Amino acid sequence: MKNKEEKERAFEQLVERQRQTIYSVCYLFANERQEADDLAQEVLIRLWQGFDSFRGQSSEKTWVYRVALNTCISADRHSRRRPDSNPLDVDVDLFADEEQCPAASRLHRRIGKLHPFDRALILLWLEDLPYDEIAAIMGISVDNVSVRLVRIREKLKKITD
């Protein structure tokens, strides 16, 4: 086992390499920047807790995606059970000026209306991951990935803003 300093250094390097992956997942499940930041912090905690047990049986990126997705899906389920006394305005442009990127903002709102599993799949697809890697991350077959993505894209076309 690594000493504490080596472990911390290795973890910092992992986080630096996977920062974009972590934040992409959190962004898709968040309604505002602060929520995305909070989710990212929770993902980092879960990654740290599981860091010693990561054996490298899958790629580092696959493991980080799984932890991030599971964390965000769990948080999403928890927040849906708890009534929100102060609902968020999802029409607010979260990370860019809406006039500069209305299509991305519209897509983000539509994706936010999907079930968490479907949101996770579309995120991985938007990240240009190959179907076999998406299947490994999500724990489903490659054929199932393909079928679900076709159905999700059709749902997205039908969702109104």
pLDDT tens per residue, the chain (161 residues)? 468 889 899 999 999 999 999 998 998 888 888 999 999 999 999 999 999 888 888 889 999 999 999 999 888 877 765 544 333 333 334 445 555 667 777 788 888 888 989 998 988 898 888 999 999 989 899 999 999 999 998 888 888 76
**What is the pTM for the complete model shown?**
0.63
- Catalogue the long-range contacts made by 36-43 (C-beta closer than 8 Å, 24 or more residues apart): 36/94, 39/71, 39/72, 39/75, 42/71, 42/75, 43/67, 43/68, 43/71, 43/72
Q: What is the pLDDT of residue 31?
A: 82
Round to whole Å and give the CA distance between 46 and 158: 35
pLDDT at 143: 93
Looking at residue 89, what is its pLDDT?
35
